[in-house]
Structure formats: structure tokens, C-alpha cells
């Protein structure tokens, strides 16, 4: 217990002793299976010897060199490798220390690129309800989780939101082309209602994270969204903070759609829990336009730190050498089937969904009628605590439309074996 530190609440947790692979041990010797990779962070597991060796080698040369004073080989190499992972035409990388900073970076880059192109009236970022894009004020403004924004509303410019394609709740078939068309029509109406020339960008998680509980968009949705952005002159930004780094079965979830974004935001699994790390990977011409018009008015002291780049390189090596994207698909398939078995056995598991090892199940009073559990029951906290007491870490949210729904993220590290999924 600490007298000085504080986080969200007064709740305390055991002290960590050590972590290795997919497990963590507390100071009392209790072992925990990391079924949520922390918060969908530890993609290559804990204490991976290759990542530690990469970091250790970097520590012998330079941990930090301020980016306005020095360039660094490791940072350059890492940027080049990430650009290769991103879709063609997205080659410019801006490093930061996490997801919220990356979201801020993308928003500001989009705005400055649009100013450079002579469209100063465009400033609004459209995003979805529900969604989560971070904790800094700019990120909160584009986050579709009303309780997180309400206290700060007077301090922010409200940004337009449009309903996420919650096809499961709406009783629509995600494979039916009419389903995507239904949600895309809502988006087009929202764009027209906002006056399209005031809109700068559409920000979207290509597979939903904790706010929607691993929502996979209906077939054709992302492609339709790209077409709408082109039609009305919006940039399309993928928030891959949670989906990036191989979690959904490809290095970026963007690879699974025939819809190339203008920017990709990455964090969490990028540093894999070895160093705080995030990045924005942008279309080249957007960056060139900004640099040609006075430069990017943005930057963080710890951005592009050589030690963080070494950690990111180590994590990327492991993702490639251990073929963790394929493994996410394979092991994710095993876990998905197990969760579906539970759903068949228990009527209170209302839905099982996700891609790769970004999986979720939904707890309901009744899955058939899609009746949600009473809020007072606090099921999303209770079940997590029961799992925790039994040595399993999972991650939950009750934020659908800001008011209802309990879902649980099942997202172990991508190194998880089939035998460990039994456990
Ligand atoms: N975007 C998404 C999709 C996220 O899931 C998160 C964090 O959960 C963020 C942004 C914010 O990232 P960070 O907590 O690293 O600031």
C-alpha cells in the first residue's frame, strides 16, 4: 500500500514480483495468467529474452538522445521497418510514447495538412459511439464514451459521433451487404448534417477495442467508409492502438480490408510493454505538405527515444521470427471455438466475437432477448475480480452507448500455446 501514488480509485492490487511469458507472479507468490496481455499490450509476452537483449545492447550505446539534437540509427531503422508493414504510400513515421499521444499527433497532423492545402474550414473529427481513443483532452473529444467526456465538456470542442455498427445488438447479419449499407447510410446522413466541408477526418478502430468489445465491422463497411471519406473530402484515420502489432492476425488490421487509410495510429503492442511507445504512420504527401508550410507544430520530449525504438525493434523481430500474426489467427480460432462452446452452454453469454487474439464475450441477463444485466449488479467488475482471485486476468468494460452492456476482452499474448488456452 502506498501513501503517495494514486490512480483512478482507492482500489489497490498486489505488488508485482516478476513476469515471464504469459504469466505474472505477485509478491505473495500467486501466479496469474495474463489473459488480457495487460491492456492488450504484451503481444510477445513478458521478459522475452530477445527483446531484453536488444534493449540491453542499446543501453550500452545511448538510451536517450534528444531528437532535435541527434538522429539515431535504431530509430531510423525502426521507422523504415514500420513503413514497410504499413500499406503502400504510408511511409512517414512519427514516434510518441503511447496511444493518446499518437491520437493527438494524428489529429494535429490532419489539421495542419488540411490547412496547408487551403481548407481552413475543416476542423471536425468524426468518430464512433461507442469508441475509445485515449485520455488526453483531444483524444477524449474524439472518444465516444460519454461518461469519460462529461466532466470536461466545457473545456473541449465537441466532435461529431456516429453509431458504431453494433450489428449483433441490431439483429443484422454482418455478412449481408445490406448491413454495411445500413450503417454507411447513417454515416452519410451524419456527414451531411454536420456540413461536409467542416469535416477534417473520420477516426475509426478497424476492429473495435474495449469500448465495443472486439466489434468486427460488417462486410464492406470499411470499404464503404473509405468511399464516403473520398466523396466528402475527409481523411480516414485508423486507430490501430489495440489492433496493431499482429493482434488481429495481420500486422495491421488495415491489411484485412480493401480500404487504405491516410494514417495509421499504433501503440500498445508496438512496444509490447517493454517501453512506452506509439507511432503515427502517415501518407507521405500529407507530411510533405505540413513540412513545406512551416513545419509540424507538435512534439514530445521523449518521442523517438533510441531505447524505446530498440524495444520496438525487438518486439517486431519476435513477431516476425515466431510468426505471431499467423499464430494469432490459429490460437485465436481455438479460443473463439472454446468461447462459442461456453455460449452454447450458458444463456447468459450473449455474444462471442472478435478477430485473431482480439476476442470478447458479452454477459447478459438473457442472450436470446439481448436483455442487459442491471447496472447495479456491476458484473463487469465482479467477474474480473473473480477471475483475478483465481489467477486469471481478463479486461472488461460496461460502456456500450455509455450506459449499458458488460463485455469481457479475452486477449492473451500472441505467444500463447494451444495447451495454454486449455488452462
Ligand atoms: N486508442 C485505442 C483504440 C485504445 O484502445 C487506447 C487505449 O486503450 C488508446 C487509443 C489510448 O492509448 P494509451 O492508453 O496508450 O494512451
Residue 350 near ligand 1, beta carbon < 6 Å: no
Whether residue 100 has its Cβ less than 6 Å from ligand 1: yes
- Which residue segments constitute the domains of the chain, with CATH numbers given? 16-48+323-422 (3.90.1150.10), 53-321 (3.40.640.10)
Give yes or no for residue 267 CB within 6 A of ligand 1.
yes
Which residue CA neighbors atom 8 of ligand 1 most closely?
A: 134
Confidence (pTM): 0.97
pLDDT values of the chain reduced to their tens digit, one per residue, 423 residues? 578 888 888 888 899 999 999 999 999 999 999 999 999 999 999 999 999 999 999 999 999 999 999 999 999 999 999 999 999 999 999 999 999 999 999 999 999 999 999 999 999 999 999 999 999 999 999 999 999 999 999 999 989 999 999 998 888 999 999 999 999 999 999 999 999 999 999 999 999 999 999 999 999 999 999 999 999 999 999 999 999 999 999 999 999 999 999 999 999 999 999 999 999 999 999 999 999 999 999 999 999 999 999 999 999 999 999 999 999 999 999 999 999 999 999 999 989 999 999 999 999 888 888 888 888 888 888 999 999 999 999 999 876 554 467 889 999 999 999 999 989
Look at residue 203 and give its three-state secondary structure. strand
Of ligand 1's atoms, which has the minimum distance to the CA of residue 268? 15
Task: Tell me, using a 6 A CB cutoff, whether residue 247 lines ligand 1.
Answer: no
CB 399 within 8 A of CB 130: yes
Mapping DSSP onto H, E and C, the string for 220-247 reads CHHHHHHHHHHHHCCEEEEEECCCCCCC
Please give the Cα distance from 244 to 357 (Å, whole number). Answer: 11
CA 91 and chain centroid, separation:
20
Ligand 1 near 262 CB (within 6 A): no
From the CB of 273, is ligand 1 less than 6 Å away?
Answer: no
The Cα 351–Cα 373 span in angstroms is 14
Q: Whose CA is nearest to atom 2 of ligand 1?
A: 133
The alpha carbon torsion through 322, 324, 329, 331 (nearest 10 deg) reads: 70
Residues 12-28: b if buried by 16+ CB within 10 A, e if exposed = eeeeeeebebbbbbeee
For residue 182, whether the previous peptide bond is cis, meaning omega lies within 30 degrees of 0, is no
Amino acid at each position: 500500500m502506498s501513501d503517495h501514488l494514486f490512480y483512478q480509485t482507492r482500489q489497490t492490487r498486489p505488488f508485482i514480483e516478476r513476469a515471464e511469458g504469459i504469466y505474472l507472479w505477485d509478491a505473495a507468490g500467486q501466479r496469474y495468467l495474463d489473459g488480457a496481455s495487460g491492456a492488450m499490450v504484451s503481444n510477445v509476452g513478458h521478459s522475452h529474452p530477445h527483446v531484453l537483449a536488444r534493449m540491453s545492447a542499446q543501453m550500452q550505446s545511448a538510451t536517450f538522445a534528444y531528437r532535435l539534437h541527434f538522429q539515431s540509427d535504431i530509430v531510423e531503422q525502426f521507422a523504415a521497418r514500420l513503413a514497410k508493414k504499413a500499406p503502400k504510400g504510408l511511409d512517414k513515421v512519427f514516434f510518441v510514447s503511447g496511444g493518446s499521444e499518437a491520437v493527438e499527433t494524428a489529429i494535429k497532423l490532419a489539421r495542419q495538412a488540411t490547412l496547408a492545402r487551403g481548407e481552413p474550414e475543416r476542423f471536425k473529427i468524426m468518430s464512433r459511439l461507442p469508441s475509445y481513443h485515449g485520455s488526453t483532452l483531444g483524444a477524449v473529444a474524439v472518444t465516444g464514451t460519454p461518461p469519460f467526456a462529461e466532466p470536461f465538456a466545457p473545456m473541449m470542442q465537441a466532435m461529431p459521433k456516429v453509431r458504431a455498427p453494433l450489428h449483433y445488438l441490431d439483429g443484422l447479419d454482418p455478412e449481408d451487404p445490406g448491413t454495411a449499407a445500413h450503417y454507411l447510410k447513417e454515416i452519410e446522413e451524419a456527414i451531411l448534417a454536420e456540413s461536409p466541408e467542416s469535416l477534417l477526418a473520420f477516426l475509426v478502430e478497424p476492429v473495435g477495442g474495449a469500448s465495443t468489445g472486439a466489434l468486427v465491422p460488417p462486410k464492406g463497411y470499411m470499404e464503404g467508409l473509405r468511399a464516403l471519406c473520398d466523396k466528402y473530402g475527409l481523411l480516414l484515420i485508423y486507430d490501430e492502438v489495440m489492433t496493431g502489432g499482429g493482434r488481429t492476425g495481420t500486422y495491421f488490421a488495415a491489411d484485412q480490408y480493401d480500404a487504405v487509410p491516410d494514417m495509421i495510429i499504433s501503440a500498445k503492442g508496438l512496444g509490447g510493454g517493454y517501453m512506452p511507445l506509439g507511432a503515427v504512420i502517415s501518407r507521405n504527401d500529407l507530411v510533405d505538405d505540413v513540412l513545406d508550410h512551416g513545419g509540424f507544430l507538435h512534439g514530445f520530449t521523449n518521442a523517438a527515444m533510441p531505447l524505446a525504438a530498440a524495444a520496438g525493434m525487438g518486439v517486431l523481430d519476435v513477431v516476425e521470427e515466431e510468426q505471431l500474426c499467423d499464430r494469432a489467427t490459429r490460437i485465436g480460432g481455438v479460443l473463439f471455438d472454446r468461447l462459442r462452446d461456453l455460449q452454447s452452454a450458458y444463456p447468459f453469454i450473449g455474444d462471442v466475437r472478435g478477430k485473431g487474439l482480439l476476442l470478447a464475450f458479452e454477459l447478459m441477463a438473457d442472450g436470446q432477448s439481448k436483455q442487459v444485466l442491471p447496472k447495479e449488479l456491476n458484473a463487469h467488475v465482479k467477474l474480473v475480480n473473480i477471475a483475478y482471485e483465481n489467477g486469471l486476468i481478463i479486461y472488461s468494460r460496461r460502456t456500450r452507448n455509455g450506459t449499458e452492456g458488460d463485455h469481457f476482452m479475452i486477449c492473451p499474448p500472441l505467444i500463447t500455446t494451444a495447451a495454454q488456452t486449455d488452462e
